[in-house]
Structure 1
Amino acid sequence: MAAYRPILAAATHITRRAARRRFSIISSLLLFSLLFPIFLYLLLGNVLASDPRLVPHAIRNAQSVLFITAHSDDGSLFFGPSILQSWGRKHVNRYVLVLSSGENSETNRLETKASCDQYSIPDKKCLILENKDLQAHRPWDEQLIQRILERHVTKWNVDLIITFDAYGISSHDENHVALSNSVQRFSNLHDHHNPVAYALQTKSMFRAYLSLLDLVPTSVPFTFRILQAMFLSVPEGYQTSLDGKIAIPPPKDGDVYGDKALIVTSWSRHVKAQEALRKHASESSWNRVLYSSLSRYMWFNDLRRM
């Protein structure tokens, strides 16, 4: 038995070293998985926040932007980063058009106006419709939505529309889907005359609550563009007017980066988006507080051209 003791001691020593090494590797991987999303957020939300390879020409140079949503709190829940993308640029007109005020209409109207005010959107540019045919408990007429959209696009001289994609963030909400279908059809019917339209991309419920962690998989389709933005200068023809008052035409051969956008909000703007969401006090609940901190849509918007 004594002859085996050195072997047992050596085996125990090796096992302990392997366990410590495995723990060290796991700890390093966990630390990296936490720090890398933060690094990516600081890079995309500050250094590259307006780079034309991540935020296309149509979004950066828009003079009149329409955010069209189905319900009163949709803007604050999902579109905060996009709404705040042009925040502080006084020459840019931002409009919020809500198709339905809901059952508690007066309260929803006041809260939506307060939320718009947090985004520095004037009262006259924040419109909540009262239409008996656009109520949450009944299917929406997509042709009616198209007519409403066309009327306000003309009235406000809109050159950029941002709304839901075909899955409507929450696929069970038929109103979101009807709105997306209407904007898509509107864009297809008047392709060369209508404003550019972008749709917010729907992700799974699991990813929706990953907060900044989801910025890593979201950035994968933008990897080459991010590397270009980090190491190469802005291509000729993709600049933005310094004073913002002069609309720069798109590149001669079209915007090769115009198919998608990744808008990451800075910390100060994220706080402002949270404040805007809190204005919908009648919908306040513990899961809203959780959503405000953890939802990916409060931190960044992944858009695709419709």
Structure 2
Amino acid sequence: MPNQAQLHFRRRRWPATALPRARRIWLRLPSPPSPPCATPPRRAVKTPVFFSSRRRSSSLPPSPRSCFLPMAWIWMVLAAGAVLLWAISLGRIFSSAAPSCVPLSPQFMPPLRGDRRTRNVMLVVAHPDDESMFFAPTILFLKSKGHNIHILCMSRGNADGLGDTRKEELYHACETLKIPHEQVEVLDHPKLQDGFHEKWDHELVSELVMEHVQLWVIDMIVTFDSYGVSGHPNHRDVHYGIWQGNVEAWELASLNILRKYSGPVDIWLSSLISVSRSKQSIYTLVNSSPSRSYEAMAAHRSQWVWFRRVFVMLSSYTYINMLQKI
């Protein structure tokens, strides 16, 4: 006799296939019929296709060695082209006996009124070693034209506690650049300290700069642009402090990273920009003796670490400076 659970299940008329096997056995229901055994399909016999030996060889994948050889030749050609372009650019720089200006225009630093033909130029930088790392072509060009160069450094670069050492190193670098000590001033204002997180007061910078303009009878100022070449906030603060003044000022143009580390190769593009935009007062100063830049930077011994040596060798600021009027 079926029990009550079996009778209840049979009243609902559930299909037997909807229950697991164990419950079907407990309810004593018949198992679902198994599907008929399907006959396995016959495998189609492929007719062999006979190819020629030439067709079979072309269908084989290329060997790794055959793929590597063309890529190696491409890299070798690119490397040889880069070395050749570097050598040609160095030849262009060494071709002039003295630092030169592109384009040759009397509008850049024209003669002053009266008997004075030379100018008193003040280079305003943020830290010791800025003058050698970035402005060496400008300094050497102005010195070759007989102008008097004054350097005003707004801080001692005391971020690592080496302020006194870096100050003395600046004087040694100026000896290499033929700038007398009397024309170099290093400030140590408590509100103008070296550091990425130090915010300099632009009005204070402008006030200190104008004091030295009157002290040294300055005719022209050279400094950083709004980006500051390397993006250092102290460099940018110097620019905005000078921008508030009323003296003729020129700024060193910041370059993108590709041009910045192209070494002497950037002379072609910078010269082209200067020639095409001569009406906008943009000039390229070419350093005919890059070794002077290297020697001046080497005078900063505390900063003369391996990555700065590489920077001086690869940096376009060692070979050229592109100045534009503020």
TM-score scaled by length of structure 1: 0.72
Cα distance in 1 between the residues matched to 2:175 and 2:234: 25
Choose which of 202, 208, 233 in structure 2 pairs with 1:148: 208
Task: Please give the secondary structure, in 2, of the residue aligned with 1:57.
Answer: coil
Pairwise CA distance, 1:275: 0.5
The match for 2:240 is: 181
Pairwise CA distance, 1:86: 2.4
Q: Is there any run of 5+ residues in structure 2 with no aligned partner, and where?
A: 1-48, 59-67, 112-117
Letter paired with 2:303: E
The match for 1:282 is: 302
Cα distance in 1 between the residues matched to 2:73 and 2:143: 45
The match for 2:100 is: 50
- 2:263 pairs with 1:211: yes
Cα distance in 1 between the residues matched to 2:85 and 2:228: 30
Task: Please give the secondary structure, in 2, of the residue aligned with 1:144.
Answer: helix
Choose which of 262, 266, 274 in structure 1 pairs with 2:284: 262
Q: CA 1:71–1:142 in 2, change beyond 3 Å: closer, same or farther?
A: same
Cα distance in 2 between the residues matched to 1:22 and 1:107: 51
Work out whether residues 37 and 215 of structure 1, in 8 Å CA contact, stay in contact via their aligned partners in 2. no
- 2:179 pairs with 1:127: no
Cα distance in 2 between the residues matched to 1:165 and 1:107: 27
Task: Please give the secondary structure, in 1, of the residue aligned with 2:108.
Answer: helix
Cα distance in 1 between the residues matched to 2:104 and 2:307: 31
Q: CA 1:278–1:20 in 2, change beyond 3 Å: closer, same or farther?
A: closer
Q: Which residues of 2 match residues 1-306 of structure 1 at below 5 A? A: 31-43=80-92, 46-47=95-96, 50-51=100-101, 53=103, 57-59=107-109, 63-89=119-145, 91-103=146-158, 104-137=162-195, 138-171=198-231, 173-186=232-245, 190=246, 194-195=247-248, 197-222=249-274, 224=276, 257=279, 259-266=281-288, 269-306=289-326
Q: Is there any run of 5+ residues in structure 1 with no aligned partner, and where?
A: 11-18, 226-255
Work out whether residues 97 and 127 of structure 1, in 8 Å CA contact, stay in contact via their aligned partners in 2. yes
CA deviations 1:15-43 (Å, max 9, x no partner) are xxxx9999988866654444345434543
Task: Please give the secondary structure, in 1, of the residue aligned with 2:237.
Answer: helix
Task: Please give the secondary structure, in 1, of the residue aligned with 2:132.
Answer: helix
Letter paired with 2:100: S
- Larger relative CO (CA 8 A, sep 6+): 1 or 2? 1
Work out whether residues 52 and 257 of structure 1, in 8 Å CA contact, stay in contact via their aligned partners in 2. no
TM-score scaled by length of structure 2: 0.68
Once superposed, what is the RMSD of the aligned Cα atoms?
A: 3.5
Task: Please give the secondary structure, in 2, of the residue aligned with 1:127.
Answer: strand
Q: CA 1:223–1:28 in 2, change beyond 3 Å: closer, same or farther?
A: farther
**Which of 1 and 2 has greater Rg?**
2
Cα distance in 2 between the residues matched to 1:130 and 1:162: 21
